[in-house]
Amino acid sequence: MITQSAELGRRALFAFILTFVASRVVVLLIMSRRIPNLYFFLSGTHVHHLNYGIFLLAGVGAYLLFALPQGRGLRIAALAYGIAMALTFDEFGMWLHLGGSYWQRASVDAIIVVAALLGLVGFAANLRRFESRHVRASIALLIAVVVFGVVLYDASVKIGRVEGPRLEALEAASSP
């Protein structure tokens, strides 16, 4: 039986991952000029999507605090929370460093950390039913994930050296 917090965590994780992927795809399509420039500009200033996420987070927080939703309203709030977190943390590097390129490594790292935390909320309830065979399998899986992470990091550093300048040039060329 799934607890309510686990269900909400899974909904937030689902919305988070879909929104992150969608935002990256849209940005790449805009930058490569395959779709029209959908960026919002206010007096010539590009309003980044992290701002939409911040406003949505504020709205979700107010809704949860003042409306005290149950049932369907709570499930919708979990989806909106996942969307807001993805929009905000997708540009984590930009607000951490107060500028810079959209393609900062800190943003991807933040996305991974937030997704992992949402995954824990959504799936940690099952940890209570762990048996010794589950622990052994989990240790093997953890070792595999760590090895994969090291390989992924090494590959991303090498790919970043090759593709990073090209992505930054593409980003600069797409600005008005």
Residues 93 and 34 both lie in one domain = yes
Residues 44 and 65 both lie in one domain = yes
Q: What's residue 5's pLDDT?
A: 85
Closest CA to 75 of 8, 1, 125: 8
Number of domains forming the structure of the chain: 2
Residues 143 and 113 both lie in one domain = no
Domain end among 110, 129, 148: 129
Residues 37 and 66 both lie in one domain = yes
Residues 163 and 115 both lie in one domain = no
Burial of 101 (0-12, 13-18, 19+ CB in 10 A): middle
The one-digit pLDDT tens for each residue of the chain (176 residues) are 568 888 899 999 999 999 999 998 888 888 878 889 888 889 988 889 999 999 999 999 999 999 999 999 999 999 999 999 999 999 988 888 887 777 787 888 888 889 888 888 887 766 666 667 767 777 776 787 677 667 666 666 666 666 667 767 766 766 65
Residues 69 and 136 both lie in one domain = no
Q: What's residue 53's pLDDT?
A: 97
Residues 141 and 117 both lie in one domain = no
Domain end among 129, 146, 162: 129
Q: Which amino acid is at 45?
A: T
Contact (Cβ atoms closer than 8 angstroms) between residue 114 and residue 96: no
Residues 140 and 175 both lie in one domain = yes
In whole angstroms, give the CA distance from residue 13 to residue 79: 8
Q: What's residue 69's pLDDT?
A: 96
Rounded to two decimals, the pTM is: 0.75
Residues 95 and 161 both lie in one domain = no
Q: What's residue 125's pLDDT?
A: 60
Burial of 6 (0-12, 13-18, 19+ CB in 10 A): middle
Full domain range(s) for residue 97: 4-129
Residues 137 and 117 both lie in one domain = no
Residues 94 and 139 both lie in one domain = no
